C-alpha cells in the first residue's frame, strides 16, 4: 500500500477570497491506496460518519476516475468535514498524489491541482483550487484564473475550530455581489500586504493583510462568538484574525512564541459563549 499525508488548508486569508490558500502543518488526512479492479473507499477518523464511501459521491472517487486509476482507497480523516480547514480538499489532494504515483501517471504536482479540484467539486459543487493547491504544493498559494503561484514560508498560525455548523452554501450566499471602489482599494492593499508578508516570512504584515472590508464581515455573522474570539486572539498577541475558508474555523496569524496563549484565549472566548472548540497551534507548512 502507498501512503500519502495531506495537510489541512486555510483558504481566503481574509483579503484573498477564492484566491489565497495556505497549507497547515497540522491537522492532516492520511490516505492509503492499493491497486484494484474497481475503486472502493473506506473512511475512518474524525467526522467519518458524515462522509460517503460510494466512489460516485466521494471526492477521491472522482480523482481515481480522472486519473484512470482504480484502487482500494483508505482515508483516515484528521481534518473534520465542514470545518473551513479544507477537509475534502485534503482527501482529494492526497488521493491525486498517491494514485499518480501508484499508477506512474507522470503528472506533475501542478498538473494534479485541477484534477484534485474537480474531485473536490463532487462534494462542494464548485472546483475552487484555493484549498487543493496548497494541499498539493505546500506553503502559500495564489490561485488566479488558471495559474497558481506558490511560495514556501513558515508563518506561525493558530486554527480554532468551534463545534458549530456553517454550511458552505450559506457562507457563499452572504458574500456581497458588489463592492465599492473604496472597498476594492482597501482589499487590494491588504492582499498585497499579506503577499509581501508571506514572501518575507513576516507575521505582522500577514496579520495586517488579513483585514478585508467585504467578505469576512458578512461571514462573521454566521459564526456565533466570532467577534469575541477575534478580540481575544488580538489581545493575546495575534497579528491578524480572519474566518478560515467558509468557516466556522477561525484563523489567527502570530509570532511563534504566542501560539499557545492565543489558542487558549480563543478557546476561552468560545467557551464563554457555551461553544466547545478545538485549537491547533500550527504554521504554514
130 is a contact residue toward ligand HSE (CB under 6 A): yes
Count Cβ neighbours within 10 Å for each residue of 68-80 and write b for 16 or more, e otherwise: ebbbbbbbbbbbb
39, 59, 118, 120: the active-site residue: 120
CA distances from 175 to 17, 23, 55, 191, 220 (A): 10, 24, 32, 18, 11
| Residue from 10, 59, 100, 124 binding ligand HSE (CB under 6 A) | 124
38: DSSP letter: S
Is 235 within 8 Å of 265 (Cβ atoms)? yes
61 is a contact residue toward ligand HSE (CB under 6 A): no
2: DSSP letter: E
Helix (H, G, I), strand (E, B) or coil at 164: coil
Is 130 within 8 Å of 117 (Cβ atoms)? no
Q: Tell whether 28 is in a known binding site.
A: no
Binding string, 15-34, against ligand HSE, x = CB under 6 A? ---x----------------
| Residue from 7, 245, 249, 285 binding ligand HSE (CB under 6 A) | 245
Q: Is 53 a catalytic residue?
A: no
Q: Least Å distance between CB 244 and ligand HSE?
A: 9
Of 154-193, binders to ligand HSE (CB under 6 A) are 168, 171-172
11 is a contact residue toward ligand HSE (CB under 6 A): yes
Cβ neighbours of 16 (radius 10 Å):
27
Q: Which residue do the cell numbers 499579506 mark?
A: 194
Q: Least Å distance between CB 16 and ligand HSE?
A: 9
Q: Which residues pair with 32 in a beta bridge?
A: 3, 74
Q: Is 239 a catalytic residue?
A: no
Annotated binding site for ATP: 80-90
Residues at the contact surface with ligand HSE, assessed by CB under 6 A: 11-12, 18, 124, 128, 130-131, 168, 171-172, 245-246
Amino acid at each position: 500500500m502507498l501512503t500519502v499525508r495531506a495537510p489541512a488548508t486555510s483558504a481566503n486569508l481574509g483579503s484573498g477570497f477564492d484566491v489565497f490558500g495556505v497549507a497547515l502543518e497540522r491537522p492532516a488526512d492520511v490516505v492509503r491506496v492499493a491497486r484494484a479492479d474497481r475503486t472502493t473507499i473506506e473512511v475512518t477518523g474524525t467526522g467519518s460518519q458524515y462522509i460517503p464511501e460510494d466512489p460516485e459521491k466521494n471526492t477521491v472517487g472522482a480523482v481515481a476516475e480522472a486519473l484512470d486509476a482504480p484502487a482500494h482507497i483508505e482515508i483516515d480523516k484528521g481534518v473534520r468535514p465542514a470545518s473551513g480547514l479544507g477537509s475534502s480538499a485534503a482527501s482529494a489532494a492526497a488521493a491525486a498524489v498517491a494514485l499518480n504515483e501508484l499508477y506512474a501517471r507522470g503528472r506533475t504536482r501542478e498538473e494534479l491541482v485541477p484534477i484534485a479540484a474537480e474531485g473536490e467539486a463532487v462534494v462542494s459543487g464548485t472546483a475552487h483550487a484555493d484549498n487543493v493547491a496548497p494541499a498539493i504544493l505546500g506553503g502559500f498559494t495564489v490561485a488566479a484564473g488558471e495559474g497558481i503561484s506558490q511560495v514556501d514560508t513558515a508563518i506561525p498560525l493558530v486554527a480554532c475550530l468551534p463545534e458549530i455548523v456553517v454550511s458552505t452554501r450559506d457562507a457563499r450566499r452572504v458574500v456581497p455581489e458588489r463592492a465599492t471602489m473604496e472597498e476594492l482599494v482597501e482589499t487590494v492593499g491588504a492582499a498585497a500586504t499579506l503577499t509581501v508578508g508571506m514572501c518575507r516570512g513576516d507575521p505582522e504584515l500577514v496579520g495586517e493583510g488579513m483585514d478585508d472590508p467585504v467578505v469576512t464581515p458578512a461571514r462573521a455573522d454566521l459564526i456565533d462568538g466570532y467577534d469575541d474570539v477575534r478580540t481575544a486572539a488580538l489581545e493575546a498577541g495575534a497579528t491578524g484574525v480572519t474566518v478560515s475558508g467558509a468557516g466556522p474555523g477561525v484563523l489567527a496569524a502570530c509570532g511563534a512564541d504566542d501560539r499557545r496563549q492565543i489558542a487558549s484565549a480563543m478557546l476561552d472566548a468560545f467557551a464563554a459563549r457555551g461553544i466547545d472548540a478545538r485549537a491547533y497551534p500550527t504554521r504554514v507548512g
